[in-house]
């Protein structure tokens, strides 16, 4: 049996990672999207076990202490992490696993799975990124400020990744990702 692959999708909050991932999954349902654990409160419409595993801070800290997370990070006052057993199980079955994670976690993956394909999604402009974050209508001004400040740091780290793609056109961005994932053998 062929060993699977690990693909990491990273970029600042509001860049469109979730939209890209949903569209990629519609086109390639064989891809397995890892479900992260988080201490964040569910947003309207989010389902535990489908969008995230929503847990409290004590449970999260226990996972970290036990070494049960492949990567984890604290972002905007909440913790996020990837269950090691979930990813390893799917890769061992030959699945291609996609992680949609923040910069800190992606850096950890570089250490734990150096063969992972790490893709950084960039906004067309910083102003456009701010518009996208504000258009969500989910964050306080303080949270928006934190996200934008963090985005500056994340964008500066884009060069650490195997591939950087500007998300200025959904279809073009998807085609660019597909080209990186599904390169024909011998090319």
Whether 19 is in a domain gets the answer yes
DSSP the chain: ----EEEEEE--TTSSHHHHHHHHHHH-TTSEEPPPEE-SPPPTT--BTTTBEE--HHHHHHHHHHT-EEEEEEETTEEEEEEHHHHHHHHHTT-EEEEE--HHHHHHHHHH-TTSEEEEEE-S-HHHHHHHHHHH--S-HHHHHHHHHHHHHHHHTGGGSSEEEE-SSHHHHHHHHHHHHSPPTT-
Query: What is the rounded average pLDDT of the residues 169-187?
Result: 82
Whether 22 shows a pLDDT value over 90: the answer reads yes
Whether 187 is in a domain gets the answer no
User: Would you state the pLDDT for residue 184?
Assistant: 58
Using 50, 70 and 90 to split pLDDT, how confident is the model at 10? Answer: very high
Query: What is the rounded average pLDDT of the residues 174-179?
Result: 94
Task: Compute the distance between CA of residue 119 and CA of residue 163 in angstroms, rounded to an integer.
Answer: 5
Whether 156 is in a domain gets the answer yes
Per residue in 142-176, pLDDT (tens digit) is: 988 988 999 999 999 999 999 999 999 999 999 99
- The first and second tokens of residue 179, run together, are 């080209």
How many domains does the chain fold into? 1
Q: What range does the domain containing 27 cover? A: 5-181
Question: Could you tell me the CATH number of the domain that includes residue 143?
Answer: 3.40.50.300
Whether 128 is in a domain gets the answer yes
Per residue in 89-133, pLDDT (tens digit) is: 999 999 999 999 889 899 999 988 888 999 999 999 999 999 998
User: In terms of pTM, does the model score above 0.75?
Assistant: yes
Task: Compute the distance between CA of residue 6 and CA of residue 160 in angstroms, rounded to an integer.
Answer: 17
User: Would you state the pLDDT for residue 183?
Assistant: 67
Whether 136 shows a pLDDT value over 90: the answer reads no
Whether 186 is in a domain gets the answer no
User: Would you state the pLDDT for residue 129?
Assistant: 93
Query: How many CB atoms sit inside 10 A of residue 147's CB?
Result: 20
Per residue in 49-90, pLDDT (tens digit) is: 998 999 999 999 999 999 999 999 887 789 999 999 999 999
Q: What are phi and psi of 35, to 5 degrees?
A: -100, 120
Whether 177 shows a pLDDT value over 60: the answer reads yes
């Amino acid at each position: 049996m062929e060993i699977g692959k690990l693909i990491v999708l990273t970029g600042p909050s509001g860049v469109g990672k979730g939209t890209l991932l949903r569209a990629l999954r519609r086109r390639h349902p064989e891809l397995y999207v890892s479900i992260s654990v988080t201490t964040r409160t569910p947003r309207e419409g989010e389902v535990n076990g489908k969008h995230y595993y929503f847990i409290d801070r004590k449970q999260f800290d226990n996972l970290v202490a036990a070494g049960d997370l492949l990567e984890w990070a604290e972002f905007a006052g909440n913790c996020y992490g990837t269950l090691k057993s979930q990813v390893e199980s799917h890769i061992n079955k030959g699945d291609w696993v996609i992680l949609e994670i923040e910069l800190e976690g992606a850096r950890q993956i570089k250490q734990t799975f150096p063969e992972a394909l790490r893709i950084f999604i960039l906004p067309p402009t910083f102003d456009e990124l701010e518009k996208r974050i504000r258009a969500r209508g989910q964050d306080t001004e303080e949270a928006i400020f934190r996200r934008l400040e963090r985005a500056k740091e994340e964008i500066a780290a884009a060069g650490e990744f195997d591939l950087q793609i500007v998300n200025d056109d959904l279809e073009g961005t998807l085609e660019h990702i597909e080209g990186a994932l599904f390169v024909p053998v011998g090319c």
